[in-house]
Amino acid sequence: MERLSDNVFIHTVITHGYSVNCAVVMGSERIFVFDTLDSPEAMAPVTELLRSEADGRRIMVINSHHHWDHVYGNAAFPQCDIVAHRLCGRLIDAQVKTHSEKIPLPPQEGVMPPNIAFGDRLTFTDDTVTVHLLHAPGHSEDSIVAWIDPLSLLLAGDTVEWPFPSFAQRDASEIYPHTLRQLNQLPVNLVVPGHGPVMGKEIIDRNLDYIEGLYDVVRTAKDSRIARADLTLPVEAFAPDGIDIDEVYKRAHQDNVEWAFDEI
Ligand SMILES: [Zn+2]
């Protein structure tokens, strides 16, 4: 568990070869747990922290979006409210019922669905922090981010990812860049991505560069009638300069290339 500031903690696990982040923000009246990782067991360090630090404060879980590696730990918080975008509950349900080899089986305890849902924006304020939950479609249609004021902190879920985001929402080639441009307007200094290290605000621009660069090149390739199977676009040409890309992200990039090809 990393302590980012007096009242913000980051808990990271490695699952399926990549890191996933959960953030804990402690306000004067409520404690917010942003994402529950891939299982209730993975959340044990967080529930332990809350046992000693909650001090009667209400614990609220936030699901950044429905993907399994962000919600499968929901059952670690049986007495708590779970907040998410209004599409999230239905998408969790569909995901649990999907028999895809890309999606691990849900935990034995099941996946508790969100019980507080919103559309565009939901704000919680107490004496020390204001948590603005904002709909941020692009990675998935139910993606939300949490802008924490006055800490200048953005909990981004998979809307922002390092070294680059992954595409999982249909018809989002314009929506995703639009969302990132809007996030760029927020007065934040630090960004906690769903995957990858805590970074400065420049991570938003790097993600935008990747998405727009990739769509541009795929569009040109498709115009010249290259077949999908013949499209090889080296990840180094799109990822941020000087970054070592591991096998997991090389595959993620190839998935993005194919996704973009099908979208155009
Ligand atoms: Zn995701």
Same domain, 97 and 59: yes
Same domain, 255 and 127: no
If DSSP codes are grouped into helix, strand and coil, which group holds residue 29?
Answer: coil
* Residue 92: Cβ within 10 Å count: 27
Residue 163's pLDDT band, with cuts at 50, 70 and 90, is very high
- 84-115, pLDDT tens digit by residue? 999 999 999 999 988 788 899 999 999 999 99
Would 246 be classed as within a structural domain?
A: yes
- 15-50, pLDDT tens digit by residue? 988 999 999 999 999 999 999 999 999 999 999 999
Contact yes or no for 141/20 (Cβ under 8 A): no
Averaged pLDDT, 135-163: 97
Q: Please count the structural domains in the chain.
A: 2
Q: Which domain-ending residue is among 177, 201, 225?
A: 201
**Percent of the chain residues topping a pLDDT of 70:** 100
Q: Which domain-ending residue is among 175, 201, 227?
A: 201
* Tokens at 27, concatenated: 């306000």
* Tokens at 144, concatenated: 């939300």
Q: Roughly how many angstroms between the first and final C-alpha of the chain, as a whole number?
A: 42
Q: How far is the CA of 203 from the centre of ligand 1 (A)?
A: 17
Q: How far is the CA of 21 from the centre of ligand 1 (A)?
A: 12
Same domain, 188 and 247: no
Whole-number pLDDT of residue 254: 95
pLDDT > 90? residue 122: yes
Q: What is the DSSP letter of 18?
A: E
Would 79 be classed as within a structural domain?
A: yes
Q: pTM for the whole thing?
A: 0.96
Would 32 be classed as within a structural domain?
A: yes
**Percent of the chain residues topping a pLDDT of 90:** 91
Q: How far is the CA of 140 from the centre of ligand 1 (A)?
A: 7
If DSSP codes are grouped into helix, strand and coil, which group holds residue 62?
Answer: strand
Separation CA 127–CA 140 (nearest Å): 33
Q: What is the DSSP letter of 76?
A: G
Whether the bond between 163 and the residue before it is cis, its omega within 30 degrees of 0, is yes
Buried-state track 111-125, b at ≥16 Cβ within 10 A, e below 16:
bbbbeebbeeebebe
- 171-220, pLDDT tens digit by residue? 999 999 999 999 999 999 999 999 999 999 999 999 999 999 999 999 99
Q: What is the DSSP letter of 134?
A: E
Kindly give, in sequence order, each residue whose CB lies less than 8 Å from that of residue 175, ignoring residues fewer than 6 positions away: 137, 138, 169
Return the biggest CA–CA distance within the chain: 63
Q: How far is the CA of 256 from the centre of ligand 1 (A)?
A: 13
Q: How far is the CA of 50 from the centre of ligand 1 (A)?
A: 26
